Structure formats: structure tokens, C-alpha cells
Amino acid sequence: MSFRKVNIVILVLAVALFLLVLHHNFLGLSSLLRNEVSDSGIVGPQPVDFIPNAPQRVVDGREEEIPVVIAASEDRLGGAIAAINSIQHNTRSNVIFYIVTLNGTADHLRSWLSSGNLKSIRYKIVNFDTKLLEGKVKEDPDQGESIKPLTFARFYLPILVPRAKKAIYMDDDVIVQGDILALYNTPLKPGHAAAFSEDCDSTSAKVVIRGAGNQYNYIGYLDYKKERIRKLSMKASTCSFNPGVFVANLTEWRRQNITSQLEKWMKLNVEEGLYSRTLAGSITTPPLLIVFYQQHSTIDPMWNVRHLGSSAGKRYSPQFVKAAKLLHWNGHFKPWGRTASYTDVWEKWYIPDPTGKFSLIRRHVEISHTK
């Protein structure tokens, strides 16, 4: 072999070695960035908290990703944990959780997610910027409760999940008993940006509600005495829908500027007081009812079996509860509280807080304190 050929071989080997080292360093940097927490204070997915040891079924890029968005406030963190655990346990799909929270909760949430059965999930912690709500909400002393910023995270799905074409939003007071893939595959009609469970026709309403009055109609959420509402020509008797669980076509959402439309009605309510004074449900419902009037698809009612939190008593049969795909404790009686119903079903998915900051409130605790 000539001297020139030897030099060429050495050069080729050196280049190959350099590329291998470069590739190794790049992977190390990528892993570091992937797990680095960003507390920049903006709303949007931060490059945080991907679990590197997740099973292959979760990280395989060939399978469609199912984004599930859940808001997690400090005082309700146990609810979000139970919901996430129930979803993960009942599916083999490629789910990634976008957990929307405020700055002070991120570390607590992260320590909880790194424990026990949750080690295998993929998730992103997304910091919600409360400045987005300036001029769009105001405290109402008649409502009794203060405004909770994370309640409005559902209005900003395209910002929270910027690259997704479709996503699921759900409240933190739910338990999922079916495969989340079935909910994700809910068909949406052309031009519809979301699919909700309607109140009047829901399985929940048929089973437990008697004499609900205006609770499940538009008039229960909007003040029809206001001219601006009347000009919309929306029938007051129109059935409302529950915004605690829905599937969103984010491509259509962006095309129609749904977020901007929702913000418009939030601002107008601040200026003119358009919501009903006896609001039948969440403060987020009225703008959604206006924007999606006769322009939304429906999900299977068994994917939002609700009103479990409307009273402390049990109104569903055990068979019905077992058959439900998703159980929703909307109302004042939350499953982590003292007087909740069906707590045994919820506690099956609850994982105790390793930091001890969050604990369940149960009747026996109250009794022991009174002795």
C-alpha cells in the first residue's frame, strides 16, 4: 500500500471517529435539554420533564401522539394525579400529558410524578401566564369564590399544544375507565372545532336529574335581559354542554380564531355583565356556549358521566358507574373532600403525595378531631 493510500485511510478513520464523538455529545446535549425545566413565565409548552425511561410503546414516534391537557392547581393537585394515573393505566396508546400549572406548583408536581406508577408517563409541565387574563375577568362578590386562572387554560389550547392537530382537554376531577384512544377518535363534523357532551341529552342527566329547570339551558348561563345577548338570536331553551371534557380539532380552532372569539366575550362580560347572575356552572361555560352555538360535535355521553360531585349521596347504580368510560365529579363535592360520593372508585387511582403536602380529607378525620 502506497504512502498516499495510508494517509487517506488514516484520514477516513479520523473523520469517522470525529463524527462518532460529535454524535455522542449531541445526544447528551439533547437529553439534557429534554429534561431541563424552563421557568420563563410564558404560556406555552416548555422543554421540560420528558421521562427518559418510558416504555417503547410510549416513545415510538411511528404511533400518533395523543395530547391530553389537564390543569393542575396546588390545592387540587391530587385530582390531576389520579386522573393521569387512570388514563395511563387504561391505554396502550402514545399519550403525552400537558399539565398546565402556575410557577409555584411545578416542583411539587414534578416530585409527585417521579414516584410510583407515574414514572413511565410522558409529560410536559406548562406554566400558565396569568397576564393573558388581564381585562378579561373580574371578581364577582355574588359568586362567592375567587377567580381561578387555570380554569381558563382550556381557552388557549393551540398555544399550550402548538404542534398538535387535535387534543383532549379534561378537568382534574375525573377518572378515566376506558381507553383514551376511543375518546380521541371521536369524529368531528366538518367546520367544527370541538366536540362536547350536551347536558340535556347526556346519560348523566337522564339518570340523576329531576326538575333541573334552567340548569341545562342557555338561559342558565347567559343574561337574556341584555340586548347584546338577545341580538345573537340564540334560543334560551337551547341545551347547554359541559366544557370539563372535550375533544378539540386544533387546526379548525386556529382557522376560526376560537381563542380570540372567546377573549372577546370575556372582555364584553367584564364591561357589560352578560353572564347569568345565577350562573348554573363554571364561569368558563358562557363564552364557550356563545362561540360554539350550533357549531360543535358531540362525544359519547359515557365519556362524561358527571354530577358525581353535585351531592354527597350516591345516585348511580354500581353497574352504571362501572360501565362509564369517564367519571366526572363536577360540583362542590370533590372526591378528595370530606363529603364526596364514590370515593372508593376515585381512590383506586389516587397516589399519595410523597411530600405530604396534599392529603385526603375524610369523615373519620373530622370525627377524631372532635373527640
Inter-residue contact 294 to 312 (CB < 8 Å) = no
Check residue 19 and give its pLDDT.
63
DSSP-derived pairing of the beta strands 65-71 and 166-170: parallel
Please say if the pLDDT value at position 96 is more than 90.
yes
Please say if the pLDDT value at position 45 is more than 80.
no
174 located within any domain: yes
Check residue 203 and give its pLDDT.
54
Q: Average pLDDT in the 66-93 region?
A: 97
In the chain, the number of structural domains is 1
* Nearest one of 138, 170, 146, 147 to 157, comparing CA atoms: 170
Better-predicted residue by pLDDT, 341 or 10:
341
Please say if the pLDDT value at position 273 is more than 90.
yes
317-332 pLDDT, tens digit per residue, is 999 999 999 999 998 8
28 located within any domain: no
Give residue 277's pLDDT band: very low, low, confident or very high (50, 70, 90): confident
263 located within any domain: no
Please say if the pLDDT value at position 57 is more than 50.
no
Coil, strand or helix at 119: helix
79-89 pLDDT, tens digit per residue, is 999 999 999 99
79 located within any domain: yes
Indicate the DSSP class of residue 66.
E
Report d(CA 324, CA 203) in Å as an integer. 10
97 located within any domain: yes
Q: Average pLDDT in the 64-89 region?
A: 97
Domain coverage including residue 115: 66-192+241-253+297-348
313 located within any domain: yes
Mean pLDDT of the chain: 83
Burial 318-352 (b: 16+ CB within 10 A, else e): eeebeebbbbbbbbebbbbeebbbbbebbeebbbe
147 located within any domain: yes
14-36 pLDDT, tens digit per residue, is 666 666 655 554 444 333 233 32
Please say if the pLDDT value at position 341 is more than 50.
yes
Q: At 123, which CATH number?
A: 3.90.550.10
Min mean pLDDT across 14-18, 277-281, 342-346 is at: 14-18
* Nearest one of 362, 366, 364, 327 to 82, comparing CA atoms: 327
